[in-house]
Amino acid sequence: MDFEHRTGSSQDRGRTAHSHFDDTNGTDFQLHQRIVSAPVDFGAIRSEFGLASEYPAEAVSDARDAVDAFAGTRVDRTDIEFVTIDPPSALDLDQALHIERTPTGFTLHYAIADLGAVIVPGSALAAESEIRGQTHYLPDGNVPLHPTVLSEGAASLLPGVDRPVALWTIELDNNAVPLSFSVMRALVRSRERFDYAQVQAAADSGTLHPSLVALPEFGRLRIEAGLDQGAISLRLPAQEVVPDGDGWRLQLEPRTAADDWNEQVSLLTGMCAARIMVEHKGVGLLRTMPPPPASAIESMRRTAAALGVEWSAGMPVGRMLAGLDANAPAALVLMSEATGLLRGASYTLLAELENPTPDQLTHSAIGAPYAHVTAPLRRLADRFTTEICLALCAGVEVPQWAVDGLKGAAETMRRTDAVANKVDRACVDLTEATVLAPRVGTNFSAVVLRAANGSRPAEVFVSAPPILARCEGEPAEGETVVVRLVVADPGTRAIGFAYDGGVKG
């Protein structure tokens, strides 16, 4: 999956962590060992993948001079006490939320930075963003989609300042099922910014900000609703490269229940946006994923049986995975195998589907049609899809720039998603190799995620430091074994272990 916050995304920067498994989220593992590497040159990775950090001067000028094209027509909703939830160091704040319990359910207000109002179609800024596609996050700094004067300044939903937004209003019943939803242009002001750990601590102590008191209940209900409709969320270890003095270290991304609750807000909004575009049967762009082949699910069932995991015939794979202890070796094995169910994520243009089937419209990992609309500061597609939803909800023509540019935006997203995944992997691989280079020949305890199969070597997870890597030999799937580090080459970014059939860990 690949959402703006990893659900089982993303990709999308919900965190600046990286995983061997594309489109998978973190877990609650906390173990890591302070094995620190020498300085790492991530600049070489920027050069290898052609990431241009410097923005053209004309585009920077456009960003600096940007004004709200709809300033005179916005609805003033500065009365709503919005707050933001983001990683501690983030300044590109796309979203602000306010959720409240009502006698009949919930009312969610979700404010999204309105980039369509401040980027002039055909300008140097528009052209450059349409080349870059998305923000790339590297351990030593970001390569931004937009100049930081805009993405971390004038358009960011920082607290205490008025900002133009696309404001989603979603009414839900007592089970957090949406009853009505719409989006309009508005002016809002965020009151406070929180990170995930702060929200979790406040939830645990019963001191949540009034704008977030209903979030835990909403989040739990939405997670259940997702499982009911076939959603699959993977809780695999997600590696994170973090600075440590003059060097770097690997650790596992901390993930809290607050991450999951907040993620549900973005997922729900993306589902509502998809329904708006699908129901109007016109221009639109969905994030889709085909259903997994029956053979892949049958293979998982055989693996579960071999590991002694009960899985009733009628239980969806997502609910089975959700019921596992994420720290158990069997869970790691099954979630690792489940990544094979989540293949083929793409961007689907509604205009290119004459009589679409449900499978063509659906993101199978979510179990519903879904669109990217909640991260326009960091992802190109969201500016176009948000503009389309704004027009459809207002009953006006979709602006021609959004119609004409949608196909190109989809192509750019496909291209840059592939680059982002390679950049993430390269950064982790380089850090792993640099951290472990002095320890070639050392033994480590590891869980075997996949047994060797023909020409495909086994894959193991070492928790300290957190490493996912290939392993020579024939270790048994699901076992905890001792493996020996045989390769750690920063020049080639190669890591490899070997299993000699020795003592179990």
Domains and CATH numbers, the chain: 43-230+251-290+344-416 (no CATH), 293-341 (no CATH), 440-498 (2.40.50.140)
Residue 104 host element (H or E): none
- Quote the distance between the C-alpha of residue 303 and its chain's center: 28
The three-class DSSP label of residue 38 is: coil
Backbone φ, ψ for residue 282 (5° rounding): -130, -135
Q: How far is CA 127 from CA 123, 262, 412, in A?
A: 6, 32, 12
Residue 457 identity (one-letter amino acid): P
d(CA 366, CA 231): 4
Q: What angle do CA 166, 169, 174 make, to 5 degrees?
A: 155
CB 133 within 8 A of CB 75: no
Q: Are 117 and 70 in contact (CB under 8 A)?
A: yes
Each residue's pLDDT tens digit, 272-307: 999 999 999 889 999 999 999 999 999 999 999 999
Region of poorest pLDDT, from 15-29, 367-381, 433-447, 459-473 = 15-29
451 CB-side CA count, 13 A = 12
**One-letter amino acid of 471:** C
Residue 386: which of 404, 405, 400, 402 has the closest Cα? 402
> Three-state SS for 266?
helix
Question: For residues 491 and 362, is the Cβ–Cβ distance under 8 A?
Answer: no
Region 320-340 average pLDDT: 91
353-382 burial code (b ≥16 CB/10 A, e <16):
eeebeeeebbbbbbbbbbbbbbbbbbbbbb
DSSP of 438-479, one letter per residue? GGTT-EEEEEEEE--BTTBPEEEEEETTEEEEEEES-PPTT-
Of 7-21, 94-108, 369-383, least confident by mean pLDDT is 7-21
Alpha helix (H) residue ranges in 364-399: 380-394
What are the two backbone dihedrals, phi and then psi, of residue 131, each rounded to the nearest 5 degrees?
-85, -45
Look-up: residue for tokens 């870059």?
A: 132
CA-CA distances (angstroms) from residue 181 to 36, 210, 225, 293?
49, 22, 17, 33
Helix (H, G, I), strand (E, B) or coil at 123: coil
Give the separation between CA 142 and CA 401, rounded to whole angstroms: 28
* 104 within 8 A of 85, measured Cβ to Cβ: no
d(CA 270, CA 106): 17
Q: Which two tokens stand for residue 322?
A: 């959700």
Q: What is the DSSP letter of 88?
A: T
pLDDT of the residue at 13: 42
d(CA 26, CA 29): 8
Residues 176-192: tens digit of each pLDDT: 999 999 999 999 999 99
Catalogue the long-range contacts made by 441-444 (C-beta closer than 8 Å, 24 or more residues apart).
Answer: 441/484, 441/485, 441/486, 442/484, 442/485, 443/482, 443/483, 443/484, 443/485, 443/502, 444/482, 444/483, 444/484, 444/485, 444/497
pLDDT of residue 252: 83
Range with lowest mean pLDDT among 104-118, 238-252, 284-298, 470-484 = 238-252
Has residue 505 got a pLDDT over 80? no
Q: How far is Cα of residue 140 from the mean position of the Cα atoms in its chain? A: 20
Closest CA to 40 of 144, 138, 185: 138
The pLDDT of residue 502 is 63
**3-state SS class at 498:** strand
Residue 190 corresponds to which tokens in the numbers above? 């965020």
Per the structure block, which two tokens stand in for 125?
């800024």
pLDDT digits (tens, 9 = 90+) for 27-70: 222 233 445 566 788 999 999 999 977 899 999 999 999 999 99
pLDDT, position 22:
32
Residue 97 has pLDDT above 60, yes or no: yes
Task: Say how many Å lie between the first and final Cα of the chain, rounded.
Answer: 32
> Residue 7: is its pLDDT beyond 70?
no
Could you give phi then psi for residue 189, rounded to 5 degrees?
A: -140, 120
Give the residue with greater pLDDT, 20 vs 144.
144
Mean residue pLDDT of the chain comes to: 90
CA contacts within 13 A on the Cβ side of 24: 24
Question: What pLDDT shows up at residue 2?
Answer: 33
Strand partners, 29: none
- Alpha carbons 407 and 58: distance in angstroms, whole number: 25
Contact 240, 428 (CB under 8 A): no
Task: Please name the residue that has the structure tokens 């995991």.
Answer: 309
pLDDT at 504 (0 to 100): 56
Query: Is residue 110 a contact partner of residue 269, using CB atoms and an 8 Å limit?
Result: yes
**pLDDT at residue 450 above 70?**
yes
pLDDT at 282: 81
User: What pLDDT is attached to residue 36?
Assistant: 56
- Give me the helices (H) in 74-195, please: 124-132, 148-149
Q: Is 380 a residue whose pLDDT tops 80?
A: yes
pLDDT level of residue 235 (50, 70, 90 thresholds): confident
Pairing relationship of beta strands 458-463 and 466-472 according to DSSP bridges: antiparallel
